[in-house]
Amino acid sequence: MAFELPPLPYMYTALEPHVSARTLEFHHGKHHQAYVNNLNNLVPGTAFENTTLETIIKEAEGGVFNNAAQVWNHTFYFESLSASPQAEPTGKLAEALRKQYGSLDGFKEGFSKAAATLFGSGWAWLVVKPDGTLDIVQESNAGNPLRKGLKPILTCDVWEHAYYLDYQNRRPDYIQAFWKIIDWKVISSRF
């Protein structure tokens, strides 16, 4: 069964001015789609036919891993964004962030630093560790924390294709804009 590109849960114009329609047209319509197409070309004849993305992410190597992880990572990222986001986390996540990082702002500062200082292409993640505590991790290229037994609840795509049309080399400006469109309702529900 072929993998499919999930439609965005909003219009390409929905996240403006923070992320432009042009960026989303390329990011979802071209890049995300290309990872889906590549994966569908690579999987037939391998042990990963008829498995899930999660299984591939945990077990595969090389191109199959890279494209499967990029499909999953982008879906997870796009689903976290909204034109009318809930501005703050609620419930258990709000409590856990406060306990671990002092405040929501304290967490955002640490996460933003991880996203800004990640060298080259990759993803910054907020994850839940097996002991239930939170951690901020950097992953290069297609890296996904599921591979290390961690549960992702938030990610920021810092590949240049995520921001270059809107922010050029100003990755920190993109990260500041990212916080304005993060839907904490979605993030809180993942914890």
Binding site for Mn ion (CB under 5 A): 157, 159, 162
Looking at the Cβ atoms of 70 and 112, the one nearer to Mn ion is 70
Residue 182 is classified by DSSP as B
Least gap, CB of 78 to Mn ion (angstroms)? 9
Q: How far is the CB of 3 from Mn ion (least distance, A)?
A: 17
**Closer to Mn ion by Cβ: residue 139 or 157:** 157
Residue 99 burial class via C-beta count within 10 angstroms: exposed 0-12, middle 13-18, buried 19 and up: exposed
Strand order in the sheet with 122-128: 134-140, 122-128, 151-157
The distance in angstroms from the start CA to the end CA of the chain is: 30
User: In the complex with Mn ion, which residue's Cβ is closer, 69 or 153?
Assistant: 69
Least distance (Å) from Mn ion to the CB of residue 161? 5
Nearest residue to Mn ion, scored by beta-carbon proximity: 157
Please say which residue, 157 or 183, places its beta carbon nearer to Mn ion: 157
Report the residue number, 34 or 96, with the smaller CB distance to Mn ion.
34
Q: Tell me how far, at minimum, the Cβ of 31 lies from Mn ion, in Å.
A: 5
User: Quick one: 100 exposed, middle or buried, by C-beta within 10 A (0-12, 13-18, 19+)?
Assistant: middle
Least distance from Mn ion to the Cβ atom of residue 82, Å: 18
Least Å distance, CB 32 to Mn ion, is 7
**DSSP assignment of 126-179:** EEE-TTS-EEEEEEETT--GGGGT-EEEEEEE-SGGGTHHHHTT-HHHHHHHHH
Residue 76 or 159 with smaller CB distance to Mn ion: 159
Looking at residue 77, its amino acid is: Y
